[in-house]
A and B are shown apart, each in its own frame.
Chain A
Amino acid sequence: MKFTDEEILALFKRSDTKEKAFCMLLSAYQERLYYHVRRYVHNHEDANDILQNTCIKVWNAIDNFRADCALYSWLYRIAGNEAITFINKQKKRNEIDIEQSSAQYRSASDAIGADAMTQKLQRAIDTLPDKQKQVFIMRYYDEMPYEKMAEISETSVGALKASYHHAVKKIEEILTA
């Protein structure tokens, strides 16, 4: 049986059904959120860490959720921000040993059986600024319409189109170099 967002949110408000509501929320959205965060990082372990952090944030902040946007948009926003935070933290850590991080990256890419083109594409995405990266992943991988992206990122459709265009051009440049 599938529950609507309103039903899940109503269950969240009661302390005795809060855990159940949480499980329902996860079963409804975990896969989509997982695939979204997996595009930011290149291995399952990191994606799992990000998803867990996202869920903890959701659990702590669900009482403050105001239904001015869809529940999924709110979850998606948290997941995207968590992914960016995770990557930036990792970058800072890896600055100490760049060689080590690139070796980890290579082994991670090998593990998922990525071909040369996919690896190149992943590296190109890594070079994008945070905002462009988010926009590119939403459009290219999650195949999201601009209107939905605008709701999630709280940005205008025009700005998103421009951002996506820039991101695609940059990636293409890297791939053809």
Chain B
Amino acid sequence: MSSQQDILNELKEIAPLLLKAKENERPLIIPANYFQDFADSCMSEMKISTSILSAIKKDEIEVPETYFNTFSDTIMAKIKQEETPVSNAQPIATKTNKNTFVLTLFQRVALAASIIGAVFVVKKINIPIAPAQDCADGIACLTREEIYQYMNANANAFDLQQIEKAVAPSIEQQKTTQEIQDITEKDIDQYLEQNNNIIATEDLATDIF
């Protein structure tokens, strides 16, 4: 089997579409006499590039004989020359009346702007800053709507025991509230009289902080 046939068989096996494309391929269009003239054009091209290269080599860049010897002196002289006009500079011309008026107006506007700015800053400082939400437990940062939506979506995820556990503290709190409501004023006064010493000590303790 020829090498070409091998290649076609291989292509048929891995990509039949490409084999089809190969069969329908059109020949490339090349200018007439291109290959006949190519050697000549290539030779002339090479001769041109060779002559350009040799010309570049011959025309070496010319540098004045003492250029590098005097280079640092020349630069220093230039630097000094540039510095001189600054020291001998003429004083700035005096302002005209018109300029003075513009300057005064500008000063007034600037003063007004700075006062407004100061007032604004003072006001801004006095505005009480809302305390940052404590997001440590994650729930504090959620809105009511979000909590409601979450509970609705995950209603099946909570078992009864979990719910009882979660709700238990609030039930106990309710019980305590009920007990407090049952106590009469008389009972309270009696309790305060009996525990007067302890309460006074606790007040003192909180005063420290």
* Residues of A near any B CB (own CB < 8 A): 19, 22-23, 26-27, 30-31, 34-35, 38, 44, 48, 51-52, 55-56, 59, 111-115, 117-118, 121, 139-140, 143-145, 165, 168-169, 171-172, 175-176
Contact = CB atoms under 8 A, between A and B. Distances in A.
A55 B42 CA distance: 7
Contacts of B35: 30-31, 34
Contact of A168 (B18, B38, B45): B18
B16 to A, nearest CB: 9
10 contacts: A38-B28, A44-B30, A55-B46, A56-B45, A56-B49, A111-B29, A112-B26, A121-B21, A140-B11, A140-B22
Given A26-B42, A168-B11, A44 B25 contact: no
B73 to A, nearest CB: 44
Contacts, number: 79
Given A30-B35, A114-B26, A172 B7 contact: no
Lowest 8 CB-CB distances: which A-B pairs, in order? A172-B15, A26-B39, A145-B3, A168-B15, A23-B39, A55-B42, A143-B4, A143-B7
Nearest to B47: A19
A172 B12 CA distance: 12
Nearest to A27: B39
A30 B18 contact: no
Contacts of A172: 15, 17-18
B198 interface: no
A35 B34 CA distance: 12
Interface string B28-65: 11110011001101110110010000000000000000
B32 to A, nearest CB: 12
Contacts of B29: 44, 111-113
Interface centre among B11, B15, B25 (most CB of A within 10 A): B15
A59 B45 CA distance: 12
B14 A168 contact: yes
A160 to B, nearest CB: 12
